[in-house]
Structure 1
Amino acid sequence: MTLEQRISKETITDFFVDLQARICRALAEADGVGQFREDAWERPGGGGGRSRTLADGAVIEKGGVGFSAVHGEATEATLRALDLTNQEETPSFYATGVSIVLHPRNPMVPIIHMNVRYFELSTGHSWFGGGIDLTPHYVVAEDARWFHQQLKAVCDRHNADYHPRFKTWADDYFFIPHRQETRGIGGIFFDYLKPADAVHKADLFAFVQDVGNAFAPIYTHFMHQNRDLPFGEREKQWQLLRRGRYVEFNLVWDRGTKFGLETNGRTESILMSMPPQANWTYDFRPEPGSREEQTLNLLKKGIDWV
């Protein structure tokens, strides 16, 4: 059996199961107070998953680390999304992955999101997707550089073109058009990574594994570094406004959220990314020269942090 043949959906699923467990252990240890609660669920059409959530931790106010492995007949909405509506027969699909969103208690600790996933059809099509992006409530240049350097190092171990390509993809994807601002400072985002002449499935899987394995060290770094930084009511109110922007992106623009809801996915797991509280203030304008204004000025595409 060749290496390519050994990279089966079962092999990939097993990695994602283990990844979820390892990330939850690392986050609970770094938090020191919060513990994950597991909610196992089944999908009526086939498969299921387990959503692990943490609330009221010392650092993490609300967070979720979800795993899923679902299968069944591809719906019309699925085929439209994949531009595969011209199939003679309706194919079956298998999809598995890990998705994470963490909302911290301290406004000086950033929000983070990660998703790594694998999808295959009975037609023989298969691909990987995913990425990691960071949403600081206050953008600190030193932290932004460090974050992007970690992701560049992951990408560069596999392909020198990955980081510039996937960093631009993240800038474009995590953008709120009706606000004309990015959701945060970006990161990397990729989708429909398929085996090709020079890139084998094993190579793509190794890259996705590295992305998943990078998550816990990156975020626990910010947890330890920023958890005890001082803040007051002004910073807390700003945090709630930034969470509001996060909600706007996820509900209005995020393809994954909309696709999940449109295809009758599990609502609780899909909306696990929502913060515990968020605010909207009519026509809010930050004080000139303030840290809030400085942050808004850095929520733009194309900033070269490395």
Structure 2
Amino acid sequence: MLTKEEVIDRLKSVQDYICEKLESLDGQAKFHEDNWIREEGGGGRTRILSDGAIIEKGGVNFSAVHGPVSDVMKKQLGLDGNEFLATGVSIVIHPKNPFHPIMHMNVRYFEMDTGAYWFGGGIDMTPHYIDFDKARIFHTDLKGVCDQYNPDFYSRFKNWADDYFYIPHRNETRGVGGIFYDHLSEKDGLPKDELLNFAIDLGELFPKVYADQINSDRSPKFSVDNEEWRNLRRGRYVEFNLVNDRGTKFGLKTGGRIESILMSLPKNASWFYDFKAQESSKEEETLKWLKKDVDWLNGAGE
């Protein structure tokens, strides 16, 4: 039977693997590691890469925390039990170049003293400028991993991501989506060890799909206007994470480690009053595709 110690060890290995690959991709900067301890139980390793050749700010977090279930947790998660374990790896990469995308990944495991457990996670991409061919490559790789475990996973989790990574007050998606899932258990047709394997495969896919976005053109030329647009899109990313993201809000409400929670935010972001993209510009074209139900595999709205 799969133990929680085995889950923790494999997730820590995923963090190591991703950091090694991202350092190689960047070719200049190295991760700084910050080990921390949670007073109530457990701790984690926060790793930050800054001012690299490709990556302006990137974070790869691992945590494994445990302890009593607080009243806030019971209210937020509807938990039935007294003790919990939560462990996972989360990543956000903010590149320097406006023509390179922001990318996020999270794989996590939650277990209660009642024996109840579930997995969650996914990968999504937020280009500053949407390139349909690159979005297709990204979604094709995600579908490939999903199909190894369940032929319904990709379409189900792709729609879930469309709904989750949506900014209601802007009426736009955060980017080109990806896949997102939560509360998966054996009830979803896979045994516990296979659900863990799925999470590990997604984690190890991350540096591959990010490298595909970068290595096609590592140094695209850009202007000051492109940088301003990048910072405006980063502002949208900040809005989503602080206003809509359940994980961020849960961490802030339950006394999580603030530096690790907010490592997802970019170094710099901007907000322009009543911004209007110029007609027929790359910015306007990107805004047209910030919507749900786009078939990125075949190049059409569903």
Shorter-chain-normalised TM-score: which range? over 0.9
Aligned counterpart, 1:53 = 48
Q: Does 1:148 align with 2:139?
A: yes
- Superposed, 1:216-255 pairs within 5 Å as 216-255=207-246
| Matched AA of 2:157 | F
Deviation at 1:205, TM superposition (A): 1.2
Q: Does 1:263 align with 2:263?
A: no
Aligned counterpart, 1:14 = 9
Write the distance in 2 (CA, Å) between the matches of 1:18 and 1:80: 32
- Superposed, 1:1-306 pairs within 5 Å as 5=1, 7-84=2-79, 87=80, 90-196=81-187, 198-306=189-297
Deviations along 1:52-99, whole A, 9 cap, x unmatched?
000000000001000000000011121222223xx5xx5100010000
Deviations along 1:232-286, whole A, 9 cap, x unmatched?
1111110000000000000000000000000000000000000000000000000
Q: Across the two proteins, how many residue pairs are aligned to each other?
A: 297
Deviations along 1:87-122, whole A, 9 cap, x unmatched?
5xx510001000000000001110000000000000
Deviation at 1:197, TM superposition (A): 7.7
Deviations along 1:4-53, whole A, 9 cap, x unmatched?
x1x11111111111110111010011101111000000011100001000
Q: Percent identity?
A: 55
Where structure 1 has 5 or more consecutive residues not aligned to the other structure, the ranges are none
Write the distance in 1 (CA, Å) between the matches of 2:282 and 2:185: 42
SS of the residue aligned with 1:196? Answer: helix
- Greater Cα offset, 204-213 or 108-117: 204-213
| Matched AA of 1:230 | K
| Matched AA of 2:143 | K
- Greater Cα offset, 129-138 or 70-79: 70-79
Deviations along 1:168-205, whole A, 9 cap, x unmatched?
00000000000000000000000000112842112211
Write the distance in 1 (CA, Å) between the matches of 2:187 and 2:267: 43
- Whether the 8 Å CA contact 1:108–1:227 is kept in 2: the answer is no
Kindly report structure 1 stretches of 4+ aligned residues shifted beyond 4 Å: none
Write the distance in 2 (CA, Å) between the matches of 1:198 and 1:243: 38
- Greater Cα offset, 7-16 or 177-186: 7-16
Query: TM-score, normalised to structure 1's length?
Result: 0.95
